[in-house]
Each structure stands twice: as structure tokens, then as C-alpha cells.
Structure 1
Amino acid sequence: MRRICHGDGGPPDVMQLHNSPIPAIQSHEVLIRVAYAGVNRPDVLQRSGSYPPPADASPGLGLEVSGTIVQVGCEVQDWQVGDAVCALTNGGGYAQYVAAPAGQVLPVPPGVSMLEAAALPENYITVWSNMVERGRLTQNERFLVHGGSSGIGLTAIQIAKALGATVYTTVGNAQKANACERAGADAAINYREQDFVQVLLELTRGQGVNLILDMVGGDYIARNIASLALEGRLVQIAFLQGSKVEVDWLTLMTRRLSYTGSTLRPRSATDKARTVAALRQEVWPLLSQGQVRPVIHQVFELADVAEAHRLMESSSHIGKIMLSVPQD
């Protein structure tokens, strides 16, 4: 099969197509013939050498795919050869075939294309596990997600709105603001022109928001804390502007705030499977009904993966960047 290799890491051009053996699956895994693969920020970080995969994971890039099951392990009961699926992989998704644990596989929802399905696993699992399971977002709460035009941001906006929350987000320009508002955001704040803390306090009549999902870090941490309502929650999923900051934590005590966070890739297979099952029960019906939908920005051929990574690094995209994987 053909797959993308990135050697010892570096700039986007280190990624090249190579011929490799088709993966041998373990008893609890399925083998998927890949149709599309999603491009995610962790892929970019791994390729650059700053985010090594766990010791028990594939060294290859690619954390989510869609395709068709062509082989099932002897312990797998819920999937059959020929099933159209999408999956959260443990790496190696930039390839014609990839092995995935059966507990991290999901059916392609009715009415959802194979391309759209490949855009679901990484973002939807990340958002659900952090916004709902960890952040405990409920109906009628006020929610802020930073980076609203990213794949994560647009997913969070749609699911939060479907859950009955009032949704705010931050963006860098008017085009991204319009995209977020079309996705359901009640207000999109241009962080280049406005102080999001002040705007949020005005929009919420001084109360603040109940939950913030943040991937920025840096000086946003203190500003997030200032934006939270009494007993608000801040969930950190990345640190694009750094994780080492000085913060006055007194507000954490006086307003009884909670600050937590998580990363997806190092979680156990059992833990991931539990979130995947919840997602299938709670969110897959919303996809079938059209209440939530992935936003696809651009599709690249697998051989053009370097261009896809350059686009990701530019942060000029709105929604998901995808790879089309040839079968010949």
C-alpha cells in the first residue's frame, strides 16, 4: 500500500509517499480501506517533531479516517467486512489501509457522505469529551469556544447549540465570524478588534459565561478566568500560545471556578471507546437529522499532503482540511 512517511520530522516537505506493507491487525482491531483522512493540528505538531506519539501507537500520521472494513479481528463482534465506517485511529491514517481498535469505529451516519464522515472522529470525540463529559455543558448555559472557525470550533458551536446553550466564539476576521454565525453562534467576537472579556461581560450583563473551551492558552488563561460566571468551568485542550504563564488564582477561589483539561491521544482504549459509544448514542442522530454537520474547507490528494499542512499552519482555513486517498 501507499502511505505518507515523515521520517525524523521537520517542515511539510519531509512528508513523502512510500510503499509499505498493509498493517497486520490484532484480534480487537479492524482493517479499513481508507477513502478519506482528516488533517488535524496534532498531525502538524507530530510532523514537526514537537508531539511524539505514545509508545504503543503507530508512528504514522493521521488520526481519523473514513472507508470500508476489509478485515476484522477474531474478537470483533460488532463489525463486518464491507461496513462503511469512520474511525479514530491510533495513527497511520495517511495511508490506503489502516488498523483501528473496534471500539473506536463508528458507522457512517445516514445522509452523511464518506468525505464528511472522515471529518467526524477526532473533532467530535474531542469536543464531546471535553465540552460535555468534562465541562458538563447543559441546556440554557452560556458557552464560549475560542477559535470558532476551526474544525474543533465549528463542531463545538453546533453541538452546544443543539444542546440548548447560548454560544459565543472568538475569530480573527469578518469572514470567519460569518461562518460561525451560520453554524449557530449567537455572537462571534473579533479578537483583533475587540476585547473579548469586555464584550462577553456586556453580552451577559456582567454575569460571564458558564463554560469556556480553550485551545489558545498563554495570556488567554487569565482573560478566560475573568470571563467566567460564578462556579464557571474552564477546559483547556491545547496551548497554541504557551502553557507557562503567571496567573492570579484568587478569582478561582472567590468565584468557585473549576479549571481542567485533557488530551485525547494518550487516553486508554477503554476510555476512548466509552466516549465513542456516548457520541454514537447522543450525536449520531443529530448528524442524521442534519442538526450538526462538519464543515469542509478543502480536500487535497494524499500526494499533496504538504500543501494541506501548510494550509493548517496558516490558520486561514474555515472548517476541516481533508485528504483524498486513492485506491489504485
Structure 2
Amino acid sequence: MQAIVIREPGDPAVLEWTKVPDPVARPDEVLIDVAASAVNRADVMQRKGFYPPPDGAPLYPGLEVSGRVAELGTDVSGLAAGDEVCALLAGGGYAERVAVPAGQVLPVPRGVDVVDAAGLPEVACTVYSNVFMLAGLREGETLLVHGGGSGIGTFAIQLAKARGARVVTTVGSPEKAGRCRELGADVAVDYREEDFVESGPYDVILDLIGAKYLERNVDALATGGRLMVIGLQGGAKAELDLGTMLRKRARVHATALRSRPLAEKAEIVAGVREHVWPLLESGDVRPVVDRRIPMADASRAHELLEESGHVGKILLTV
């Protein structure tokens, strides 16, 4: 089959569409003919040599796919060849075919295009596990989403609104502010012109930035607030004011999805299917796709992601 390989760490030009060995499904895995994958910041970090895949995962990038079931492992039930599915991966999604543990496979939601579904597994699992499973966002509470125009941001805004929360988001342009308000954001803060702390306090903060925002995130938390750190775009090291944390009875929780054990991923996927998929099928939440690009042109897709002008997901089609 064909797949995107990283010839060596570097800029987007190191991505190459080439022949690789076909994957083989283990007894508990599903083989999927890929219709599309999606570009994530983790893929960029892997391309640069900063985020190697977990042991046993394919060396080429891609954390999610959609497509059709080609083959089932001997221990897999509940699926059939030809079923339209999407899946959460530890790697290898930039390819024509993938093998994935059955517990990480989801049906394509009714009413969602099979290609667009490629942009759902990573954001749905990340947002649901952090904002709801761990942070316990409740109806009537306020969520701050950093990077509202990202794939994570556009999904978090919709899911939190659908579950009755007030949503504030940070954006980098008036255009993105408008798009986020259309998706349900109550307030869009242009971080180039405004300080998000002034629009707080927040019960839950979903943060992709890390060190650069840590002090202000803590300042912005409400009493009993929960800060969920899921990215390090603004650095990895910063001082944490424990006095403020104690006074506010606040929590900071840093998580990663890719490296979690299979059982934890399966639990998250099951929760997403039960609590998030019905909202997609009702139209209360929808995938937000910026554009589709042929997978062979993955280098261009990475350039666009790093330019940060997109809103929603950039998909790679086979």
C-alpha cells in the first residue's frame, strides 16, 4: 500500500507518499480501507522529531481515520466487512489501510459524510475525556476553550453548548471570532487585543498552550476550577502558584491521549459513542472541516496547519 513516511525530521518537505508494507490485523483488531485521515498538531511534532509514536505503532503519522471495514480479526464481533467506520489511532493514519484495535473503532454517525468523519475521533475523544470525564463540566458552568478555531476548539465549543454550558474562547482574528460565535461561543476573546482573564472566572479551562498561559489560566479559574492542559504550543516549563491553587481549591490536570493504555482508550471511545454520537446524529454538533487535500499532498496540509489560518479540521483524502 501507499503511505506518508517521514524521511527524516524536518520541514513539511520531508513527508513522502511511498510504498510501505500492508498492515495485518491481530485477533483483536480491525483492518480499515482508509477514505480519509486528518492533520493534528501531534503529526507536526512527530514530523519535526519531537513526538515519536508509541512502541508498536506505525512510524508514519496520523491519529485518526475514516473508511470501510476490510477485514476483522478472529476475536472481533459486532462489525462486518463494508461497514463505514472511523477510528482513533496511535499512528499510521496517513495511509491507504490501517489496523486498529476494535475498541477504538466507531460507526460513522448517521448523517455525517464518511470523509468528514475522519476529523471526529481525535477531537471527540480529547474533548469528551478532558472536559467531561475528568473535569466534570456541568450544565450552567463556564468553559474557556483556548484556540477556538482549531479542530479541538470548534468541537469543544459545540459539545459544551449542547450540554448546557456557557462557552468563552480565545481566537487570533475577527474572522475566527465570528466563526466561533456561529458555532455557539458566548464570548470570543481576540488574544492579540484582549486578556482572557477579564472574561472569567471559568469553571473549566481547556488549554493547548501550556507554560505561556499557566499563570493567567490559574488566575482566571473560579473557585473549584479545573485546568486541563492538553498541549504545549507555548512551552513546557512554568512556575505554578500553589497559594492561588489552595485558595481557589483548584485542580491542574495534564493529559495525553495517544500514549494511554488500550483499555483506557476503549473506555473513552465507548463514552463518546454513548454521549457524543447522539448529538452528532441529531445535528446539535457537527464536524467542522476547513478543507480536503489529497493525502499525497500531506506536506501542503502541514504548511496550512502551521500557518494557523484554518478553522476546524484539515482532512487528507485517499
TM-score normalised over the length of structure 2: 0.98
Secondary structure of the corresponding residue to residue 114 of structure 1: coil
| Structure 1 contact 33–70 (Cα < 8 Å) conserved | yes
Instruction: Give 2:258's aligned residue.
Output: 265
Secondary structure of the corresponding residue to residue 219 of structure 1: helix
Instruction: Give 2:35's aligned residue.
Output: 35
Secondary structure of the corresponding residue to residue 223 of structure 1: helix
Structure 1 stretches lacking a partner, 5+ long:
202-207
| Structure 1 contact 130–261 (Cα < 8 Å) conserved | no
Instruction: Give 2:19's aligned residue.
Output: 19
TM-score normalised over the length of structure 1: 0.95
CA distance in 1, matches of 2:244, 2:169: 22
CA distance in 1, matches of 2:14, 2:8: 8
| Structure 1 contact 169–189 (Cα < 8 Å) conserved | yes
CA distance in 2, matches of 1:178, 1:294: 17
Instruction: Give 2:65's aligned residue.
Output: 65
CA distance in 2, matches of 1:299, 1:3: 17
TM-superposed CA distance for 1:260, in Å, is 0.6
Q: Deviations over 1:249-284 (max 9, x none)?
A: 211001111111200011011100001011001111
Q: Which ranges of 4 or more aligned residues in structure 1 deviate by more than 3 Å?
A: none
| Structure 1 contact 119–320 (Cα < 8 Å) conserved | yes
CA distance in 2, matches of 1:113, 1:224: 37
Q: Deviations over 1:19-42 (max 9, x none)?
A: 122211101001100001111110
TM-superposed CA distance for 1:57, in Å, is 1.6
Q: Deviations over 1:1-33 (max 9, x none)?
A: 111111232111111111122211101001100
Amino acid at match of 1:33: D
Instruction: Give 1:171's aligned residue.
Output: 171
User: Residues 52-201 of structure 1 correspond to what in structure 2 (within 5 A)?
Assistant: 52-198=52-198, 200-201=199-200
The share of aligned pairs that are identical, in percent, is 48
1:250 aligns with 2:275: no
Secondary structure of the corresponding residue to residue 66 of structure 1: strand
Structure 2 stretches lacking a partner, 5+ long:
none
| Structure 2 contact 43–61 (Cα < 8 Å) conserved | yes
TM-superposed CA distance for 1:79, in Å, is 1.3
CA distance in 1, matches of 2:139, 2:284: 16
Secondary structure of the corresponding residue to residue 100 of structure 1: strand
Amino acid at match of 1:28: D
Say how many residue pairs are matched.
Answer: 318
Amino acid at match of 1:118: A
Q: Deviations over 1:142-177 (max 9, x none)?
A: 110100010000110000001100000000110000
TM-superposed CA distance for 1:215, in Å, is 0.6
| Structure 2 contact 76–102 (Cα < 8 Å) conserved | yes
CA distance in 1, matches of 2:112, 2:214: 37
CA distance in 2, matches of 1:61, 1:81: 25
Q: Deviations over 1:92-144 (max 9, x none)?
A: 11111111110000001110001221110011101111111111101010110
CA distance in 1, matches of 2:5, 2:252: 37
